[in-house]
A and B are shown apart, each in its own frame.
Chain A
C-alpha cells in the first residue's frame, strides 16, 4: 500500500515536472465519435530510481491528439503486463479494446536506455494451413522493435513509437516525432518577440532568436535544419535564414526597399520563394540559394501578390493575389508566366498550401466576416470550413497531411490550435504565458 502510494506520488511529481517544462498544453475541444479504443500499458522500468519520462502517457496522448484513437484511462486498464506473450486477449476483447501497446525500458551500464515495444492487435486472426487443414490462428503481434536511446531523448523517442503504432493501425505515416516552429509574444519582456521551436505536442520549447521588434512567417527547410523568417529588427521587414543547430548562422537573404516577406523553401531546399515590393508592387520572387539570384514570378499592375507555397512536386506555386478584387488563391506553373485562379467561394481566400498527396489544399477563408481554416478539394473545388473559431490565420499542415496547426484568438489571447484535415477533431494549445502565433509544422525528421 505504502509502496503504491509512493509510486503514485512519484508519478504525480513527474507529471508536474513535465507540466512545468511544456510551454503549451493541449485542450481537446472537439473529439471524434468513432475514435478507436486502444490501450497503452505503462512501460516497465528496469533501472535505478524512476524513469525520467512516462513513455506510455506520451504515446497515449499522441494517439488521442490524432483524433483517430481513444486510449483507455490508466485506472481502467484490465491488465498490467509488459510482453505480448503475457497479454490475455480475452479480457481486452471483452472491453472492446482493438489494440494494446506494451513496452520495457532497461537502463544500460553506460546510462543509455534499451526501449522495447510490442503492438498487439487484439482481434486479428489469420487463416493458416496446419497439418493440411485451414485453421484460424491468432496472429496478434503486428509490430515490435527495440532501440538504444540516450536518456535525454527518451521522451522524443516515445513520439517515434507513437508514429509506429499510428502507421500500423491506420496505414498512414505518423507525424508525432516532428516539431513545430512558432512566434511567441510576451509584452512584459524587454524583447517581447521570440522565434521558438518545440516538439509537436508543444513540449521542450527552445528559443532560437529573440527581438524587441516583430518576427513573422517562420518556414522550415525540407531537411528541417533551417528556418527562414521575417524580422523587423532593423525597423522594417527583412528575410533571414537561420540554421537551427548552429550558432551564428543567421543570414539576411532579402532586405530590399519595401517589404521582404513570406519565405517558403522549395521541396528540394535549393530555392526560396518570397514576396518583395522592391519594384514598387508586392510580387512573388524565387531566390536561388546557391547563386543568390532572384527571379521574378508574378508581374501584376497594382495588386498584392504574396504568400507563395510550393506544390509537393515543386513544379508550381500557390499564392494569394488580389488582382481580381479581394484576395484569392492562384496557381502558377513555374514553366509558365500565367497564373490561374483556383478559389471562388467567399470574398477572401489566402495562405493556401497543398496537402502532400495533392488531393486538397488548406487555406484561410472568410465568409460573413469570419476567418476560418478551410480545405478545398483539388478536383471538385468544393470548399469545407474546418473550424468554428473566428480569427484564424497561418494554417500549416502536418507532414502527413492529417492535421493543420493554426493561430487563432481564444478569450482575448492569440493561441495555437489544431484541427484534423477532415474537421472532426479539434484541440487548442494555449500558451501559459503571453501569446503565440505563426505556427508551422516541420517536415518528417529522420
Chain B
C-alpha cells in the first residue's frame, strides 16, 4: 500500500496526533523555569523537520492512528464502517510489514445485549471475522490473526440504552505479547 493511497487516513491521524500533542505540552508547562535557554534570543527556525523522511512521518502518523483499536458496528450487522475500515487499514499497514510478520493479533467480536446470547455469540464471531477479512485483504497474513467472539458477555458499557449499545457492538484488536 502506498502512502498516497493512505492519505485519507492521515487527516484523521494528524488531528489525533495534534490532540495528543496539545495535552502533553499542557502538562509540561510548569517545568519551564529551568529552561537553559532563558535569556538567549531564539530565532524561530524555519521548520524543516530534520532527518525525517516521508516514510518515517507516515510511520509516526500510522502509530498514532493505531492507538485506536476498536471498530463499531450497526445493529444485527457485521459490516465494517468507512471509518472502521481506515483504522483497520492503518493496522494492516503496520502488521503487513515484513519486520512485523511475527506480531500476532487477536480480533475480538462483541455484541450489544439485545437478542439471544447464543445467537449473539455467533454474530460476534461474524464481526471478528469481518475485521480479520479486512486485515487480510490489506496484506496481513492469516497466521497473524486469531478471532474470538465474546458475544454479549463482555460489554464495554454496562448501560441498557442506545449509547451503551453502540459502544458494545464492536470489534477490538488486541496485540499479543
Contacts and interface: CB of A to CB of B under 8 A. Distances in A.
To the question of whether A and B form a pair in one complex, the answer is yes
Nearest to B154: A214
Interface residues of A, number: 36
Nearest to A262: B118
Contacts of A391: 113-114, 160
A99 B123 CA distance: 52
B117 A258 contact: no
Contact of B125 (A230, A258, A320, A437): A258
Contacts of A322: 119
Contacts of A261: 118, 121-122
Contacts of A275: 118, 121-122
A15 to B, nearest CB: 33
Contacts of B125: 258-259, 277, 282
| Secondary structure dominating the interface of A | strand
B177 interface: no
B116 A351 contact: yes
B117 A394 contact: yes
Contact of B160 (A216, A232, A306, A409): A409
Nearest to A237: B121
B118 A216 contact: yes
Residues of B contacting A: mostly: mixed
Interface in A28-49: none
Interface stretch (B7-15, B17-25, B95-103, B144-152): B144-152
Contacts of B121: 216, 230, 237, 259, 261-262, 275, 306
Contact of B116 (A214, A237, A307, A412): A307
Nearest to B160: A409
A304 B116 CA distance: 13
A304 B126 contact: yes
B26 interface: no
B39 interface: no
A230 B124 CA distance: 15
B166 to A, nearest CB: 14
A443 B159 CA distance: 34
Contacts of B117: 216-217, 393-394, 437-438
Interface of A: 187, 214, 216-217, 230, 232, 235-237, 258-259, 261-262, 275, 277, 282, 304, 306-307, 320, 322, 326-327, 348, 350-351, 364, 366, 371, 391, 393-394, 409, 412, 437-438
Closest 7 pairs between A and B when the two form their complex, measured CB to CB: A214-B153, A304-B122, A282-B122, A262-B118, A350-B116, A351-B116, A307-B118
14 contacts: A217-B118, A232-B153, A236-B149, A258-B125, A258-B147, A320-B116, A327-B116, A327-B119, A348-B76, A350-B115, A351-B116, A394-B116, A437-B117, A438-B117
Given A350-B119, A371-B114, A393-B115, 16 more contacts: A214-B153, A217-B118, A235-B148, A237-B151, A259-B149, A275-B122, A304-B126, A306-B121, A306-B122, A307-B116, A320-B119, A348-B76, A351-B116, A351-B118, A364-B116, A366-B115
